[in-house]
Amino acid sequence: MKTINWNGETFYGSIPKNQNTFFEVHMCGHTPPNPDYEMFRYDNIVHVFEYVVSGKGIIETKESRATVEAGDFYLLKKGFTGHYRADPDNPYDKIWVNVRGELVDRLCEIYRISQPVTVIHCADDTISRCITEIHGLMEECGPDDQEEAMRVCSVRIMEILSVVRNSEIYRDSFKAASTAEMVKDCLDAHIYDDISLSDIAKLHFMHESTIIRKFSHEYGMTPMKYLNSIRINAAKKMLHDSIPIKQIASILRFSDTSYFSLCFKKETGISPTEYYKSVFGWRK
């Protein structure tokens, strides 16, 4: 579906058949040069991907100000508060995509894109091509095509984030992490969430066996053993705070109390109850 507003902006999209919390193109489009163009965002609920075709624009937050021009790409992360506008003397022409969902949240974590605003200058047309392809998909997408369209769009967003991560400016600002480091960061961030090896492999577009091999080489254990280890360490702290064992098992996403106790004993040599007694004695 394609619509054009009174200001000449073009929007592409379709009404989602079902809400998708994993990945969704919220909106996308093209903004032609307009000296009066200005957009305010407060605690933004989407990730904003924008490519400047020509002209100039300004992005301002409470802490910083950046000028963007032809060939620049910028990402405004979810949670961004600030505003961006066209240069009145040379207003930008831009194409953009707004996305949301767990996939993009996690990819930003894995790629260590932590700043609310990231700006890079594009060395080739990869990003503009990806955004243009997303526009085409969203224009043609019908209710029955959404699942496949979102799959392709998610791959294009992954391509864009890969370009950001590999850009010179980004490399200068952030230490490039190995696959094993990115997996570790992901596990650390999701200690209280349901996350499987399959989820991790999908996030990195790798086979599970490759993830296991790279992680084990760097950390001497499999990813899921590491996850289990940090969960047990968290459980110890909760036992120190006298949180009930059943509640700890639920918080740390173990299937039931028995399985939690089994994992705890395998990791520490004693059961959660025995650990609690070793800390507090027989007072309770």
What average pLDDT does this structure show over 92-109? 94
Range 100-130 burial, b when 16+ CB lie within 10 A, else e = bbebbebbbbbbbbebbbbbbebeeeebbeb
| pLDDT above 90 coverage of the chain, percent | 58
- Which residue in 172, 192, 171, 201 sits closest to 248, CA to CA? 192
Residues 56 and 197 in one domain: no
**Do 141 and 28 belong to one domain?**
yes
CATH number at residue 271: 1.10.10.60
Show which of 173, 196, 221 is a domain's final residue: 173
Q: Does residue 192 sit in the same domain as residue 151?
A: no
What is the arithmetic mean of pLDDT over 30-51?
A: 95
Most confident of 18-27, 69-78, 190-199, 202-211: 69-78
pTM: 0.61
The string of pLDDT tens digits covering residues 55-84 is 999 998 877 888 999 999 999 999 999 999
- 187 against 71, higher pLDDT: 71
Question: What whole-number distance in Å separates Cα of residue 262 and Cα of residue 272?
Answer: 9
pLDDT at 283 over 50: no
Stretch 148-165: mean pLDDT: 92
pLDDT tens digits, one per residue of 171-181: 444 344 577 88
CB 148: neighbour CB atoms within 10 A? Answer: 11
Q: Of 111, 146, 173, which residue is a domain's last?
A: 173
Residues 165 and 211 in one domain: no
The CATH code of the domain that includes 118 is: 2.60.120.280
- Mean pLDDT across 250-268: 93
- Please give the residue range of the domain that contains residue 254: 177-284
**Is there a single domain that holds both residue 233 and residue 143?**
no
Residues 138 and 260 both lie in one domain: no
pLDDT value at 262 more than 60 = yes
Confidence of residue 15 (pLDDT cuts 50, 70, 90): low
Tell me, yes or no, whether 188 and 93 share the same domain.
Answer: no
Task: Write 89-92 long-range contacts (CB < 8 A, 24+).
Answer: 89/35, 90/55, 90/56, 91/33, 91/34, 91/35, 91/37, 91/55, 91/56, 91/57, 92/31, 92/33, 92/52, 92/53, 92/54, 92/55, 92/56, 92/57, 92/68
Q: What's the total number of domains in the chain?
A: 2
Confidence of residue 147 (pLDDT cuts 50, 70, 90): confident
The helix/strand/coil state of 232 is helix
Q: Are residues 118 and 22 in the same domain?
A: yes
Question: b/e for 149-158, b at 16 or more Cβ within 10 A?
Answer: bbeebbebbb
Residue 47 main-chain phi, psi, to 5 deg: -95, 125
In this prediction, residues 140-152 reach a mean pLDDT of: 85
Mark whether 168 and 184 lie in a shared domain: no
Secondary structure E strands in 171-273 = none
Average pLDDT, the chain: 88
**Cα distance between residue 167 and residue 46, in whole Å:** 23
Contacts of 261 (CB under 8 A, 6+ apart): 245, 271, 272, 273
Q: What is the DSSP string of 102-169?
A: HHHHHHHHHTT--SSEEEEE-SSSHHHHHHHHHHHHHHH--GGGHHHHHHHHHHHHHHHHHHHHHSHH
Q: Give the model's pLDDT for residue 268.
A: 94
In this structure, are 99 and 205 located in the same domain?
no
Mean pLDDT of 205-227: 92
**Are 158 and 275 in the same domain?**
no
The pLDDT value recorded for residue 189 is 76
Q: Are residues 53 and 164 in the same domain?
A: yes
Q: Domain ends where: 130, 157, 173? A: 173
Residue 162: pLDDT over 60 = yes
pLDDT at 172: 42
